[in-house]
């Protein structure tokens, strides 16, 4: 495969389908003020945080406020075989939201109610537009929390659709492990439920897991039941600097191999620390850094911290600094979550092409060090952050979107990162999804047979290909 280019991905031979006036008229009649054809609204819904910018926006936007709204919108679109692109808060990174085949953006951000908190069962059921921060705010009084934290304040529906994770996944898992059940509107406009509130089940095909990570291509998620966790009795965060990335990574590998139940362990390279300092007005030491957090009883946190300090010092880790108050920790993690935005703002007008490979933990050095060397050699500004406890890291190449040559160079780097990860037994996407951007990588990773199986499922559930067409697979 050649290095992907933007044009290759949008598959120019597939033209946007016509959205007939009869459909927009019918949607307008049904949805009134919940319907918009205003260009500014359409443009806002026709892009995401990816570097793709050249696709025409959707023909219109419907703001759903209920499952019934979603059903009606889908049934009307199905009647005209018009594409439907579910939209949460627009924070996806791989072109998921772009109307590459035209159609209607179905915005569920107004479906933002926490429907039921079952604190005694450690579960909560929410509408898809609830964001992760909102959810944590609303369950705070119960002493429970929802750990999954992609950088952005994403919607729970969108996080389910992309199988998102974040900094806490090393201990608490990803959306794959934390979604118990979904309500979904199918491409025919029917409502189904994919699970119960039971913690485990062997009852039939795992439809929940099929929809988690399906990127809006199989239906629209209208309710999500997720697990909650007791707020740990004790929490402690620490940063530690390392002379080389290899030292930092080897520290992490050993922490994981020893089974230390660390809650978070994040890598920032020296350049990213500098960007974070500038953006978040911090004065972190500008060296390669691990940012860690420990959860548990006071004794357990102490024990974990001691073990990790021992391991780090064997790998030349220095300057352990502890953040024990909630305020200090929040400041640190907010800065970490803003690393992406800090980087993007460091080069005005740039867009970011983000790699997302994840490899078996023992291969993390192999995957990372050559990647950094290639990026340094390229001259393209970049940042490096990593959910390294999971073997997942992100290189963000900050490109000038109008410089096609630079874009191609960054895509070529991305492709090299992916090919290396696949050779090491890893995946092209740890948490961002395939979208428009990794369709070629997905074929390289899974092979034609597995792709054919995915396509069969898509074809069976969505024969007219109206749900977010042109994502995950080309065409």
| Site for its own copies, residues 306 to 325, rule: CB under 8 A | none
Our finding on whether 456 is near its own copies (CB under 8 A) is yes
Closest approach of Cβ 472 to its own copies, in Å?
Answer: 6
Q: Which of residues 107-136 bind its own copies (CB under 8 A)?
A: 118, 120-123
Written as six digits, the tokens of 310 are 């021992």
When binding is defined by CB under 8 A, the residue of 60, 152, 169, 380 that contacts its own copies is 169
Helix axes 67-79, 21-31, angle to 10 degrees: 160
Q: Which residues pair with 191 in a beta bridge?
A: 185
What distance in Å separates the CA atoms of residue 142 and residue 230, rounded to the nearest whole number? 9
Q: According to CB under 8 A, which residues from 81 to 110 bind its own copies?
A: none
Does position 303 bind its own copies by CB under 8 A? yes
Please, what is the minimum distance in Å from the beta carbon of residue 462 to its own copies?
10
By the rule CB under 8 A, 259 interacts with its own copies: yes
Those residues whose C-beta lies under 8 Å from the C-beta of residue 200, and which sit 6 or more positions away, are none
DSSP 237: E
In whole angstroms, give the CA distance from residue 339 to residue 167.
13
C-alpha to C-alpha distances, 97 to 89, 115, 199, 331, 413, nearest whole angstrom: 10, 26, 32, 31, 24
Residues 199-258 that bind its own copies (CB under 8 A): 199-207, 209-210, 212-214, 229-230, 232, 253, 256-258
CB of 288 to its own copies, least distance (A): 22
* 141 contacts its own copies (rule: CB under 8 A): no
Q: Which of 38/258 has CB closer to its own copies? A: 258
Q: Which residue has the tokens 């092409």?
A: 353
Strand segments, DSSP code E, in 275-317 are 288-296
Using CB under 8 A, which of the segments 43-51, 327-335, 338-346, 417-425 binds its own copies?
417-425
Among 42, 264, 432, 437, binds its own copies (CB under 8 A): 432
Shorter beta-carbon distance to its own copies: residue 350 or 361: 361
Nearer to its own copies, 20 or 447 (CB): 447
CB of 356 to its own copies, least distance (A): 8
Out of 2, 278, 297, 325, the residue judged to bind its own copies by CB under 8 A: 297
Q: Report the C-alpha gap between 107 and 390 in whole angstroms.
A: 32
Nearest approach, Cβ of residue 176 and its own copies (Å): 7
- Figure out which of the listed residues 434, 436, 467, 474 binds its own copies, where binding follows CB under 8 A: 434
**243 vs 298 by CB, closer to its own copies:** 298
Q: Which of 166, 385, 371, 367 is nearest to 289 (CA)?
A: 385
Residue 196 binds its own copies (CB under 8 A): yes
**Which residue in 91, 128, 125 sits closest to 108, CA to CA?**
128
Query: Distance between CA 59 and CA 354 in Å, rounded?
Result: 28
Tell me which residue of 345, 411, 276 sits closest to 49, measured CA to CA: 345
Stretch that binds its own copies, among 76-84, 263-271, 299-307, 398-406 (CB under 8 A): 299-307
> Segment near its own copies (CB under 8 A), from 21-29, 81-89, 269-277, 291-299?
291-299
Tokens for 129? 């537009």
Selected range binding its own copies among 32-40, 236-244, 340-348, 455-463, rule: CB under 8 A = 455-463
Shortest distance, CB of residue 270 to its own copies, whole angstroms? 26
Query: Tokens 């290909």 appear where?
Result: 465
475 is a contact residue toward its own copies (CB under 8 A): no
What is the per-residue DSSP string for 325-375? SHHHHHHHHHHHHTHHHHHHHHSTT-EEEE-B-B--GGGHHHHHHHHHHHH
Residue number with CB closer to its own copies (405 or 460): 460
Identify the DSSP state of 231: P
**Smaller CB distance to its own copies: residue 286 or 444?**
444
Minimum CB–partner distance for residue 314 and its own copies (Å): 17
Nearer to its own copies, 74 or 276 (CB): 74
- C-beta closer to its own copies: residue 342 or 368: 368
At its nearest, how many Å lie between its own copies and the CB of residue 407?
A: 23
Query: DSSP per residue over 45-79, as a string?
Result: HT--SSS---SPPPSEEEE--SHHHHHHHHHHHHH
Report long-range pairs for 113-117 (Cβ below 8 Å, ≥24 apart). 114/138, 114/139, 115/223, 117/142
The least CB distance from residue 417 to its own copies, in Å, is 14
The answer to whether the CB of 197 falls within 8 A of the CB of 123 is: yes
Residue 146 engages its own copies in binding (rule: CB under 8 A): no
Using the minimum distance from each CB to its own copies, give the nearer residue, 369 or 424.
424
Among positions 335-394, residues that touch its own copies (CB under 8 A) are: 356, 358-363, 390-392
């Amino acid at each position: 495969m050649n290095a992907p280019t933007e044009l290759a991905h949008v598959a120019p031979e597939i033209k946007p389908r016509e959205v007939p006036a009869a459909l927009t008229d019918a949607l307008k009649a049904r949805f009134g003020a919940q319907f918009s054809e205003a260009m500014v609204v359409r443009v806002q819904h026709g892009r995401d945080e990816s570097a793709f910018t050249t696709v025409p926006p959707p023909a219109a936007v419907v703001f759903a406020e209920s499952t019934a709204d979603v059903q009606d919108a889908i049934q009307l679109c199905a009647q005209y075989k018009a594409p439907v692109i579910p939209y949460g808060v627009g924070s996806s990174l791989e072109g998921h939201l772009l109307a590459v085949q035209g159609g209607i953006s179905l915005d569920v951000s107004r479906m933002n109610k926490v429907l039921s908190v079952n604190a005694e069962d450690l579960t909560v059921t929410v509408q898809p537009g609830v964001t992760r921060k909102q959810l944590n705010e609303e369950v705070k009084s119960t002493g429970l929390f929802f750990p999954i934290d992609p950088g952005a304040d994403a919607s729970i529906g969108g996080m389910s659709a992309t199988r998102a994770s974040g900094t806490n996944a090393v201990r608490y898992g990803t959306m794959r492990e934390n979604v118990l059940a979904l309500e979904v509107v199918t491409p025919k406009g029917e409502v189904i439920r994919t699970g119960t509130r039971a913690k485990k089940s062997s009852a039939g095909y795992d439809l929940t897991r099929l929809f988690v990570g399906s990127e809006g291509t199989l239906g629209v998620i209208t309710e999500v039941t997720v697990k909650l966790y007791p707020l740990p009795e004790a929490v402690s965060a620490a940063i530690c600097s390392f002379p080389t990335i290899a030292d930092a990574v080897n520290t992490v590998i050993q922490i994981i191999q020893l089974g230390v139940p660390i809650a978070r362990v994040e890598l920032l390279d020296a350049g990213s620390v500098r960007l974070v300092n500038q953006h978040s007005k911090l004065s972190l030491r500008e060296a390669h850094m691990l940012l860690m957090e420990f959860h548990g009883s006071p004794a357990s946190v102490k024990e974990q911290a001691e073990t990790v300090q021992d391991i780090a010092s064997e790998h030349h880790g220095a300057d352990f600094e502890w953040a024990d108050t909630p305020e200090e920790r929040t400041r640190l993690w907010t800065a970490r979550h803003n690393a992406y935005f800090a980087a993007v703002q460091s080069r005005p007008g740039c867009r970011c092409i983000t790699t997302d490979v994840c490899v078996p933990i023992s291969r993390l050095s192999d995957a990372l060090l050559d990647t950094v060397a290639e990026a340094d050699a390229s001259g393209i500004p970049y940042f490096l952050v990593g959910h390294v406890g999971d073997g997942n890291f992100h290189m963000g190449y900050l490109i000038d979107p109008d410089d096609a040559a630079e874009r191609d160079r960054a895509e070529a780097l991305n492709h090299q990162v992916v090919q290396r990860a696949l050779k090491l037994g890893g995946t092209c996407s740890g948490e961002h999804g395939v979208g428009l951007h990794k369709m070629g990588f997905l074929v390289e990773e899974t092979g034609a047979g597995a792709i054919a199986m995915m396509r069969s499922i898509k074809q069976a559930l969505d024969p007219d290909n109206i749900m977010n067409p042109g994502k995950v697979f080309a065409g």
